[in-house]
Structure 1
Amino acid sequence: MNYYIGDLHLFNRNQTDEGRNYDRRPFATVEEMNQYILERWNAKINNGDTVYILGDMAMRGKNSALLALVAQLKGKKILFRGNHDDLSDYRYQRLFEEITDYREIADSFDGKTYKLCLMHYPILMWNGQHRGSILLYAHTHNTVEEAFFQKCVKELNENKKLNVQQGKPIRAINVGCMMPYMGYEPRTLKEILSAHE
């Protein structure tokens, strides 16, 4: 089974009440956030599953506590480089099946196959978007930048001159863990799409 998540920002105090809590996450401390994510992740993911982490796993890669935490997360972890990912520690790199910037994959459920473009950053044009390919990304959290990007996607769908996708909606979905439909745990494509219907 494939799962998707991004913007975990493990060990980032500014994602909790210990710091600025940019996302207004419901955690008083980093330890509470890390433990919550670990428990939710491992309750859902099996070692045979693949988890596509769309960037910003953590703030640094040389912390022994971070190495221990990521080593406990089940599944084959594929990390898409985010702007906050420090990958300078070889031990940290080894915790991932692969580290990449971009990938196109297919995922299926209920007898239907979907083409996906995966990366950390949202982009306005991606391969196959006019033929139903879905962009999954992170980076923008739940910010004014996210609202602006989604407004652009909406305009692509509404503008008759731009709408050339033969009846298929252009879809770009933020899989940042703080989004209401993500709930700080990896989600299947079916879960993600169901939340957007």
Structure 2
Amino acid sequence: MNYYISDLHLLHKNCIRFDERPFEGLEEMHETILTNWNRKVTDSDTVYILGDAAMYGKKEKAIELVAGMKGKKVLVRGNHDYFHDEQYLQLYEEICDYKEIEDTADGKEYRLVLFHYPIFRWKNMGHGTILLYGHTHNSLEDDYYQGCLDKMAEEECSRHIYESKPQAYNVGCMKPWMNYEPRSLEEILNWEQGQEL
């Protein structure tokens, strides 16, 4: 099984206030994230972390936290992923800046683009390929981005012929459909269609 999540911001105290995360402090946030993660993910699963896994500067604690998360972890680097410590980097199966994969949801195959940042154009965006991203948290910036994608599809942007509406989903852990746990593609798509997780 593949799972996706972004913007954990482990060890980043300011993110609690910035995102209005429902935690008293870092310990409670870390405990919630690890409990949710390990309740769901098995060692044979792959979790794609789409950036900003942990704040740099506290490598021993970052190693302890990430090592305590089950599964094979792939890090698609974000703007806070500055670790150069070999012991930390070895906790990941792969570290990259951008990734294209295939996954299945409800028995259907999907092509995915995985990137930390929201982008306006991605490979086959109007032909069913889904962008999963993070970075924008709960912000007006994310609302504007989603609104712009809607407008591009409505006006049939002259540079693309859309077979389907472009689909881009923010998998930041603080989003309601993520609720501080990795989610499968099926869960993400079902939430978008109004189904409860």
Do Structure 1 and Structure 2 share a fold, with TM-score over 0.5?
yes
Q: Render the CA deviation track for 1:56-80: whole Å, top value 9, x for unaligned.
A: 0011164212111110100000001
Deviations 1:6-42 (A, max 9, x none): 00000111122xxxx1000000110110011000000
In structure 1, the partner of 2:102 is 106
Distance 1:161 1:110 in 2: 30
1:83 aligns with 79
C-alpha distance in 2 between matches for 1:128 and 1:58:
31
Q: Tell me the CA shift for residue 156 of structure 1.
A: 1.5
2:156–2:162 Cα contact (<8 Å) kept:
no
State the AA in 1 paired with 2:161: V
Mapping of residues 148-187 of structure 1, within 5 Å: 148-162=144-158, 164-166=161-163, 168-187=164-183
Are 2:133 and 1:137 aligned? yes
Distance 2:145 2:165 in 1: 15
Matched residue of 1:105: which SS?
strand
Report SS of the residue matched to 2:136: coil
- Structure 2 counterparts to residues 42-121 of structure 1, below 5 A: 42-60=38-56, 62-121=58-117
Structure 1 match to 2:6: 6
> By how many angstroms is 1:109 displaced?
2.5
Q: Is the 8 A contact 1:130 1:164 kept in 2?
A: yes
Distance in 2 between residues matched to 1:184 and 1:161, nearest whole Å:
35
- Change beyond 3 A, Cα 1:159–1:97: same
- CA spacing shift, 1:122–1:161, aligned 2, 3 Å: closer
Deviates more, 1:101-110 or 1:4-13: 101-110
Residues 161 and 78 of structure 1, relative CA distance in 2, 3 Å threshold? closer
Match of 1:38 among 34, 39, 47: 34
List per-residue Cα deviations over 1:82-108 (Å, max 9, x = no partner): 001122111110010000011111101
Q: CA RMSD in A?
A: 1.1
What one-letter code is carried by the residue in structure 2 that aligns with 1:144?
Answer: L
Gaps of 5+ in 1: none
Q: Please state if 1:28 is matched with 2:28.
A: no
**Change beyond 3 A, Cα 1:13–1:62:** closer
TM-score, structure 1 length as denominator? 0.94
CA distance in structure 2 between the partners assigned to 1:68 and 1:159 by the alignment: 49
- Mind listing any 5+ residue stretches in structure 2 that lack a counterpart? none
4+ long deviations beyond 4 Å: none
